[in-house]
Amino acid sequence: MEEKRCHYCGGLFIPDPRVGHRQKACSIACQRLRKKENNRAFTEKNPAYWSERYEEVKQWRQRHPDYQRRWRQTKRRGRSPSEIQAERLRKTIEFAERVHLFLREIQAEILLKSITIPMKKAPLILKVH
């Protein structure tokens, strides 16, 4: 199997023979990035998907009130307290990253506005004179 360059970290890797040339990520960490990117692309392509599904999901959850609690229990089974703590830390970091990205988007919007406003005002001033 020929070496490939990872689309995410740029490192070289040997693809899993079961995946072959289709493999784009070298490691679990890069696969997580790939999954995140795919999820983001899906949501961008289908912006109403989650809000449209919400009513249906809400009704299903009312019919299965114990589902979430049981799901959490099976997920935590066999995990040590430090593994659970590490998972919480990972989720918190992911949340902080999302907030950071969101703030950067707002900052970019503000910067763009401060550039476009004087440009919009300029022709008006010219008309007045």
Cβ nearer to Zn ion, comparing 8 with 37 = 8
The strand pair at 4-5 and 12-13 is best described as antiparallel
Task: Pick the piece of the chain touching Zn ion (CB under 5 A) from 29-37, 87-95, 96-104, 119-127.
Answer: 29-37
Q: Is 30 in the site for Zn ion (CB under 5 A)?
A: yes
Window contacting Zn ion (CB under 5 A); options: 27-35, 36-44, 60-68, 112-120: 27-35
CB of residue 20 to Zn ion, shortest distance in Å = 17
Counting residues that bind Zn ion (by CB under 5 A) gives 5
Cα angle for residues 84, 90, 94 (degrees, 5° grid): 145
> If binding is defined by CB under 5 A, does position 23 make contact with Zn ion?
no
b/e per residue 36-51 (b: at least 16 CB within 10 A): eeeeeeeeeeeeeeee
Tokens encoding 54: 């919400």
* Residues 8/30, Cβ–Cβ less than 8 Å: yes
Question: What are the residues binding Zn ion (CB under 5 A)?
Answer: 6, 8-9, 26, 30
